[in-house]
Structure 1
Amino acid sequence: MSSIVNVHDAKTHFSRLLEQAHAGQEIILAKAGKPYARLMPLASESSAGKRVPNMLAGRIGFDDKALFEPMSEDDLAEWEKPL
């Protein structure tokens, strides 16, 4: 849930708004009645996309023999194109 606060009120109650944002609420700051900026919590380190070993194990098919097969002429032509 988000709430809209005008800039003047935001200056007056910044500490309170900061605590609300830290608690998970999104605050939209408005200037002349138009949305201007967003005050929201930072992602916690625990939700920042930690790597999990073997997360995709069993989900992706991979033929290791295909790595050693010659490339097709079409594939070779793609590699030879300038960037």
Structure 2
Amino acid sequence: MLLEYIKAIPLGYSIVLFQSKKYALTRTDFNEGRSTKVYAEELGGKDLISFNFYISEKGEQLKPCEMPAEKVIYFLTNYHLLQ
């Protein structure tokens, strides 16, 4: 389920709207798409979203960076791409 949301983020840099605020969003894939780094920073603010996502023989694994997984999942399911 999360994989679909993550792959919907364009590779590279994008601007998104989340909770009525603009964020700079970057998605980078590694290891032939088996690992992904996502970083979003609120423009003109202090909020950020950062996580890694891995696909292995054991399945999919979400690794948030110093934040609850719920915050990451809420972001993934509620942001809107602006450009």
User: TM-score interval w.r.t. the shorter chain?
Assistant: under 0.3
What is the TM-score of this pair, normalised by structure 2?
A: 0.23
Q: More helix per residue: 1 or 2? A: 1
What is the TM-score of this pair, normalised by structure 1?
A: 0.23
Higher relative contact order (CA 8 A, sep 6+): 2
